[in-house]
Structure 1
Amino acid sequence: MSKLFALLLVTGLTATVLLGWNANARSEPKRSDLPKKESSKIERGRYLIEVAGCNDCHTDGFAPSGGQVPESEWLQGSVVGFKGPWGTTYPINLRLLVNSLSEKEWITYAKSVKGLPPMPWWSLHNMTNDDLGAVYAFVKHLGPKGEPAHAPIPPGEAPAGPFIDFDVHMPSTK
């Protein structure tokens, strides 16, 4: 009886460990797949662009397609405006901006910019110089492409093209 119990115990523990390991392998990215500090600046920049969600606004069609936009089309800004109490803003063409600056100028810009909503400029302020340098290297690697973004439209003026409405609308009370 004790041999059977020991065999069942060892089998059960082995199955538990293997099942737990397999579940973790599916639910967490492998550490070797994540960019390391020693990775190239360009790869680190690509990673930061992806996890920061920069493409969601700065790449036309990125969010609606579930990220299925070729990398060669990334970060050219968008024709879709964001309308709110501040007026209407358009995501800038990061490829044109970055390619017009030195890395030092980019870092200074990113650390000091205070744009209009919905751009979370405070997130740039919190990035390290190394991270901003990696973002710069990746965007520079993509090269300049596209057109400058539409200028912001003041509050009260209607945008001519597509826009996402950030104005708060209260339900009518009847």
Structure 2
Amino acid sequence: MKTITFLLFVCSAIIYVLSSCNITSSKPVAQDDARYSKQLIARGEYLVNAIGCDDCHSPKKMGPHGPEVDAALRFSGYPAQRPLPPADNETVQNGWALFGPDLTAAIGPWGASFAANITSDETGIGKWTEAQFIKAIREGKSKGLDGARTLLPPMPWQNFRKLNDEDLKSIYAYLKTTTPVKNIVPSPIPLKDIKFKKEVRKV
């Protein structure tokens, strides 16, 4: 009887230790806004992944199978400290658009545009209201502000504006729970101000 009691005690102790270790090693979860349910946030996460927001808004790093999202910088947009590589003017003048290697920057007839920081940081959408977010997507207004410039390509807001209110609210709710990354994305550069590569004259 004593042996059985001892074994039960040991098993209970092991389960307790393993449970404690599991809690300790778990990653901290962002504080969800009380206005948004877990279901709404989960819906937003699903939509963000399905729509492909990572494609342009997340810096990439080279992995064993090619470029992959840099988890530490996810959704933080074009890195502020990264210089814009010289581009080929002739290619742009011929009507082509150029993309950076991780798709966070693009150059075309509109000039140079940079993917926005959409993390929950104040340099991202941390201070945005839900109404601002919806206006940005529905009307293509930068930061969702009246009188602001129109969102530039390649942001396909004209397609996303068709999402219903519930979908847009869920995306906003999810993005507000993302890990904040401090990164002030550069302003767009007009085409005339872009430093293109010097043309090499053919002999």
TM norm. shorter chain > 0.5: yes
**Unaligned segments of structure 1, at least 5 residues:** 1-37, 161-174
- Corresponding residue for residue 153 of structure 1: 189
Deviations 1:46-81 (A, max 9, x none): 1111111111110000798554432x5321112442
Residues 131, 63 of structure 1: alpha-carbon distance in 2 compared, 3 angstrom cutoff: farther
Q: Give the corresponding residue for 2:73.
A: 73
Kindly indicate whether the alpha-carbon contact (under 8 Å) linking 2:78 and 2:185 is maintained by their aligned counterparts in 1. Answer: yes
In structure 1, the partner of 2:157 is 121
Question: What RMSD in Å do the two structures reach over aligned CA positions?
Answer: 2.6
Distance (whole Å) between structure 1 residues aligned to residue 139 and residue 133 of structure 2: 10
Shift of 1:151: 0.5
Q: Which amino acid aligns with 2:191?
A: P
Alignment match, 1:168: none
Aligned in 2, Cα 1:62/1:75: closer, same or farther, shift over 3 Å? farther
Q: Cα distance 1:159–1:139, how it changes in 2: closer, same or farther (>3 A)?
A: farther
Q: Secondary structure of 2:125's match?
A: helix
Show structure 1 runs of 4+ deviating over 3 A. Answer: 62-69
Number of equivalent positions? 122
Q: Judge conservation of contact 1:56–1:63 (CA < 8 Å) in 2.
A: no
Distance 1:88 1:128, change over 3 A: same
CA contact (8 A) 2:58 2:69 kept: no
Q: Structure 1 residue 106: deviation in Å?
A: 1.6
CA distance in structure 1 between the partners assigned to 2:154 and 2:43 by the alignment: 25
Q: Which residue of 2 aligns with 1:89?
A: 113
1:126 is paired with a residue whose SS is coil
Q: 1:63 to 1:137 in 2, by over 3 A?
A: farther
Give the 3 Å change call, closer, same or farther, for CA 121–159 of structure 1 in structure 2.
farther
Alignment of 1:40-79 (within 5 A): 40-61=39-60, 65=66, 67-70=68-71, 73-79=73-79
Question: 1 or 2, which has the higher helix percentage?
Answer: 1
Matched, 1:104 2:131: yes
Percent of residue pairs identical = 27
Partner of 2:23: none
Give, in angstroms, the shift of residue 124 of structure 1. 2.3
User: Contact (CA 8 Å) 1:153, 1:159: kept in 2 or not?
Assistant: no
- For the residues of structure 1 that align with 2:52 and 2:62, how far apart are their CA atoms? 9
TM-score by length of 2: 0.53
Equivalent AA in structure 1 for residue 56 of structure 2: C
What letter matches 1:89 in structure 2? S
